[in-house]
Structure 1
């Protein structure tokens, strides 16, 4: 795949508001595909050749990247056939945190400035009590909040509205500025936000690998434990498919182990 095509495709993905991680994965797919002609048979051969090289998750990334590129090129591919090549596996158990662990994270300051520590703790609260994706979080502006709901520019340039707890509404001042900013008054980046979570986790002593997505899954699990309808959780998370939402809840290590432990009581 030539650099010219890669650049054009990258612009196409950015214009469709895909996340940096998705763009990186899709470009990786094209580089691996190489100079092959883009048609159903070639894609099938490519995926079959890749079976022994990559895990199913990477194979899905390859397929998704090529699928997106075929849309960009307006080439029809029989994607249902290619889907059958990739092995299906049970989703891995994922980690969640509870409200006590959230407080433990917040009690683990990583900066000497009280202002920055307060910002970092506010970031944790927003992730835990809204279930936002990290790129959605850093793009929140004060003006996105109005009368109890928050406008979110989500994946695929989709806009949704979510509710936020009363104790978070006081942080909005109505301006067009970003809610989360650096010490130099610039918008906080996703990389900086991830580093905040990493440092707080390390300092807290919590023996879990906690990422921004951990908070998103924790939010879904928290709502499910309070008997919130699955369709409501789906809308709040901005999922297109309800099965995605169900997987967030039903593969929580803590929830599954809690049910499993009942056998021994």
Structure 2
């Protein structure tokens, strides 16, 4: 059952009755369309009168697992509560399922999410006149462009790069492979690193010849080294937040979803199979994933 007619009515209500700003109304609409997507993905055939607190709590918790920051989750919760108060006012529902709805009880702290300007500041803080600077810029561009875990970045192989067609193959948790689109900016910096730095290295160890990112001794980078590089770049850019490689992953997901990207596509790209127990995302539509990144990722879409 589609919620779209109710969401359209809600938009008119916000505009005429509440006089909210256009940006707020659009954000609330996007949040509710995400709820509609979620219900369809879970195959919940529930309308506004049938849905309960349990399903709404699952949705909020799902957004947390997907990597959205606390502020975004709070806005989604606000949108849902306002929507159901509207339905109650219009006599579309009898009981409000959001009365007892809380945000997810998190077992771990959600990492910070950086703004696009903060990401830009970190990237531009890197000195590209040095070999390690060229490598570090390529690494951070890749983290943000693809939403990789730090272990997936350090394990990235040359043979798994398909930059000419805009994809990389990632080996995730449990050695499960997934295909992730990569934008032109990140691909450009990877090529600059490969051609300008990596091909000139003469001390590459035999066991590491296929690894993309190498340290000065010709071996793959450690997770700790990547953490240190990210911390140094954040400090150089004057970022006060507690930034880690995982912050780029959360920022990737948040920026795509807040820009309007489809939840299923973002989940596929992040490799979050645990969100829905049934394996319904086995066959990926790579053209669709690439179009999602090109349309919604801040470093892929054309900016005015």
**Shorter-chain TM-score tier:** 0.5 to 0.7
Q: How many residues align?
A: 156
The equivalences for 1:244-255 within 5 A come to none
Relative to the length of structure 1, the TM-score reads 0.53
Structure 1 window deviating more from structure 2 (195-204 vs 127-136): it is 195-204
8 Å contact from structure 1 (residues 128, 215) kept in 2: yes
Q: Which residue is 1:230 aligned to?
A: 263
* Structure 1 position 105 matched with structure 2 position 122: yes
SS in 1 for 2:226: helix
* Structure 1 position 144 matched with structure 2 position 160: yes
* Structure 1 position 155 matched with structure 2 position 188: no
Question: Hey, what's the Cα distance between the residues in 1 that align with 2:160 and 2:152?
Answer: 12
Q: Which residue is 1:165 aligned to?
A: 183
SS in 2 for 1:241: helix
Gaps (5+ residues) in structure 2? 1-103, 200-208, 278-304
Relative to the length of structure 2, the TM-score reads 0.47
Shift in CA distance, 143/239, structure 1 to aligned 2, threshold 3 Å: same
Gaps (5+ residues) in structure 1? 1-87, 245-265
* Structure 1 position 114 matched with structure 2 position 130: yes
1:104 positional shift: 1.3
Query: Please, which of 235, 243, 247 is the counterpart of residue 210 of structure 1?
Result: 243
The equivalences for 1:30-69 within 5 A come to none
8 Å contact from structure 1 (residues 102, 124) kept in 2: no
Question: Hey, what's the Cα distance between the residues in 2 that align with 1:168 and 1:201?
Answer: 19
SS in 1 for 2:212: coil
Question: Hey, what's the Cα distance between the residues in 1 that align with 2:249 and 2:184?
Answer: 19
8 Å contact from structure 1 (residues 127, 137) kept in 2: yes
Q: Which residue is 2:288 aligned to?
A: none
Shift in CA distance, 243/207, structure 1 to aligned 2, threshold 3 Å: farther
8 Å contact from structure 2 (residues 231, 243) kept in 1: yes
Shift in CA distance, 152/165, structure 1 to aligned 2, threshold 3 Å: same
8 Å contact from structure 2 (residues 128, 134) kept in 1: no
Q: Which residue is 2:96 aligned to?
A: none
SS in 2 for 1:103: helix
* CA shift digits 1:134-176 (9 cap, x unpaired): 0000111111012332111100111111110023334356995
Question: Hey, what's the Cα distance between the residues in 2 that align with 1:218 and 1:243?
Answer: 22
Shift in CA distance, 243/96, structure 1 to aligned 2, threshold 3 Å: farther
